[in-house]
Amino acid sequence: MKWRRQTKYTLGGVAFGMLFPLSAWAIDIFQQHLFFSLDTVLQIHQQNALHYIIDSAPFILGLCFFVIGHPVNSLSRLNKTAMAEIMRFSEQLSAHSDIDSVQSKILRIISHTLEVERVGLWYYSESKDWLILSTMYLRSKGSLVKGATLKHSQYPDFFSDLDKDINIVSYDVRQDSRLRAFKTGYMNRYNISSMLTVPIRVSGVTTGVICLEHTGTNRHWRLPEQEFIKSVTLFFALMRESYQRMKSDILQKMIMNTMSDGLIIINSAGNIDSLNPAAVKMFAYPMEEGLGRHYSQLLPDLYSVPYIKDFLQGRSTENAGITDIEIDGVRQGGQHFPVIVSLNEMRIGPQLLYNCVIRDITELKIKETALQQAKKMEAVGQLTGGIAHDFNNLLAIINGNLRFLEQDFGVIDANTQELFNDARSAIQDGSELTRRLLAFSSKQQVQTQNNNVNQVLERFKYFISRTIGDNIQLKLDLPEQALFIMTNPSQLQNALLNLAINARDAMVSGGTIMLSATRYYHTNTVADLKPQLSLAPGSYVVISVSDNGIGIPAEQLPHVFEPFYTTKELGKGTGLGLSMLYNFTQQSMGACYIESTVDLGTRVEMVFPEYLEEKNTTPAADDKPITETGIATDKIQLILVVEDEPRVLKLTLRDLKYLGYATIAADNAAMARQIIESGKEVDLLLTDIQMPGEWDGHRLADWVRTNYPQIKIILASGYSKEPSQHAEEGRGFPLLRKPYSLKVMAEMIRAEQTG
């Protein structure tokens, strides 16, 4: 009869367990003995996740109650109601995935089955300094409590035994030395008389406890009861570990799926076991096609570097990992792109795997190239700016002396006048050259205005069609809606002319030049249509000039924007055209880009920020001519001229005398200050910007404006670093650009007189 009852209770649990998937190895383990080893737990843990444990729970509980069936029956503690509750719980447990709910129900069953008032499940904190109550079931109230804590250092004897995997079996808690720290507080508060505390062990370490707290009369904890609780602790350990593993797997997948870097897992054979979505996107292989491939198909350079190959084949033990190796990746279709790779090994059981983290640095390389180009342009710009400044001084001297010679000659014949005209034409050409050099060096104020791109290209086509050649066909491709950009119109015309001439020279036997404009929105991402452009996100206008000429070899393309680099024959190109184009687009807050294929042609794109506000694009004409002589008035009598170049100084003084002004000269800012401070009634300061000494023309002008506001100020220079919006900032001064004509200087002085 006794064995029949035991069998009935066992089969009650097993019957429900058989309703759910349970592998054969698990049945063998539990049939052999109730207490399974930690290795078995870990084996289960590695092979399957939480659902196997949940599915197997009824079988485990059935076996547990087989062991305690006899003592429980003999003590009349397991009645039919309790057994029905266990079976009902077993039926629910198999489909349950909430670990807190599972734990709470098991504690309730233990409490009612063993008739214990308080059954608690406690877990150590990560620091091991605290024992934290996960859940406690109160039998008399049928409720759960959580959140209590026990500090390790306050209960040393209690925690010492638990850490050693010793059950604390206490018949009388008041007499147990291990629990004396609890006597005055915890035990008395809840009328606890007896306690059974069983450690939960994982990998040989105590991670928590199940604590049964009996109230009322003292209680002897029988061995089957202790063994049953021990079995439950193993079940909790297995369930918690599997739950943590499941959480870890979810977290790992979440991290892998949200990583911007590519991640591939390589096995010891060199094949790819897994790859994250970023790697799928990076290499353009669908997930199913990427899996199983040899890593050399994606990262061939890894396979070609001996020490990396040895590392991946497990033959190298010198390095724990390889970090930040710059190599080429290969996308599906054979496209190479630069990447940085880091490698580390990991072991899962006997299996050796390699983590390979890959970062696409295509955009970084583009920005580095742009920065190097900008530095080159800056260095050359500093040189050309200085040359242009000195050259403008020389042109000013030549121009002024020519003017005085012409005046001294009086009436001259046609041949002599032609000589003067040729000389002035050469000066104008030289002035235009310095203007381009200054634009190239970014040291000239760029006067911008709103440009209707459609109109600019239409006018340019009309202009260039007469000179480009009969064998060249010009075509326009413009949008219906007009596009507007804010830039310097002269520089835009020069850029278009330079590109058109380059296109013509590339089509010796004739061909087609296409001028086009379109709107483009830059997103600053690798997926962008033009990721190679270093631009802020926003709306842009792309002006392109393309031809079907001989094209440019691929190895020359990275250098075409470099100063003095030319693809033309010796003597047919200066190498400044495209570099000036590059600087022009940079000054306009845009960019430029070139595409070319040998024998197919070349396409150059200039990208400018779109100007969305349509305005009048026709500059107002200056219709106020000024006579060059006799303009001195009572408002300006004495002009202080500050110039460090003696010949320019002498020329300026002579011009001002010719215009009827009294003058006083200084060759540096310090001397000019002394003159002003001496009490000279200076009416106007005409000072060069670039001068030796601590003060330049700007600082001198600021000082004069602050201390002598009645003195008018005009600046003169071969170039100016002042931005075009400087006047809006409240520090702007009229600027006289060298080489200037007598008429221009006279107009500027007159403007100060009437201002």
| Longest CA span, the chain | 148
Over its C-alpha atoms, the chain yields an Rg (Å, rounded) of: 45
pLDDT of 729 reads 32
**Mean pLDDT, residues 127-135:** 89
Model confidence at 82: pLDDT above 90: no
Q: Return the bridge partners of 80, or none.
A: none
Unique residue bearing structure tokens 């289960």: 44
pLDDT of 535 reads 77
Looking at per-residue pLDDT, the higher value among 247 and 222 belongs to 222
pLDDT of 95 reads 42
Model confidence at 124: pLDDT above 60: yes
Distance, CA of 735 to CA of 726 (rounded, Å): 12
pLDDT of 13 reads 41
Helix (H) or strand (E) holding 712: strand 712-717
Q: Return the bridge partners of 610, or none.
A: 485
β 484-487/538-547 pair status: unpaired
Going by pLDDT thresholds of 50, 70 and 90, the confidence category of residue 516 is very high
Model confidence at 247: pLDDT above 70: yes
pLDDT of 645 reads 86
Helix (H) or strand (E) holding 511: strand 511-522
pLDDT of 67 reads 40
Going by pLDDT thresholds of 50, 70 and 90, the confidence category of residue 567 is low
Looking at per-residue pLDDT, the higher value among 390 and 310 belongs to 390
Model confidence at 672: pLDDT above 60: yes
Return the top range by mean pLDDT from 429-433, 495-499, 558-562, 729-733. 495-499
pLDDT of 83 reads 40
- Compute the half-sphere exposure of residue 496: CA atoms within 13 Å on the CB side of its CA: 27
Model confidence at 5: pLDDT above 60: no
Collect contacts of 174-181 with beta carbons under 8 A, ≥24 apart: 181/154, 181/155, 181/157
Closest alpha carbon to 460 in 520, 534, 516: 516
Model confidence at 60: pLDDT above 90: no
Closest alpha carbon to 105 in 68, 144, 151: 144
Listed range (258-272, 290-304, 447-461, 624-638) with the worst mean pLDDT: 624-638
Listed range (91-100, 411-420, 573-582, 646-655) with the worst mean pLDDT: 91-100
Going by pLDDT thresholds of 50, 70 and 90, the confidence category of residue 197 is very high
CB-based contact 498:505 (threshold 8 Å): no
Two tokens, residue 278: 């970023």
CB-based contact 211:119 (threshold 8 Å): yes
CB-based contact 63:10 (threshold 8 Å): yes
Helix (H) or strand (E) holding 219: none
Distance, CA of 38 to CA of 204 (rounded, Å): 8
CB-based contact 364:371 (threshold 8 Å): no
Q: pLDDT for 26-59, tens place per residue?
A: 333 333 333 333 333 334 334 443 444 444 444 4
Going by pLDDT thresholds of 50, 70 and 90, the confidence category of residue 317 is very low
Helix (H) or strand (E) holding 120: strand 118-124
Distance, CA of 209 to CA of 182 (rounded, Å): 16
Going by pLDDT thresholds of 50, 70 and 90, the confidence category of residue 530 is low
pLDDT of 565 reads 63
**Mean pLDDT, residues 142-157:** 88
pLDDT of 736 reads 86
CB-based contact 273:291 (threshold 8 Å): yes
pLDDT of 579 reads 78
**Mean pLDDT, residues 655-660:** 88
**Mean pLDDT, residues 356-382:** 79
My answer on whether omega of the bond before 739 falls inside 30° of 0, hence cis, is: yes
Q: Considering the chain, what is the average pLDDT of its residues?
A: 76
Going by pLDDT thresholds of 50, 70 and 90, the confidence category of residue 396 is confident
Closest alpha carbon to 9 in 63, 53, 74, 56: 63
Distance, CA of 754 to CA of 255 (rounded, Å): 72
Distance, CA of 491 to CA of 752 (rounded, Å): 30
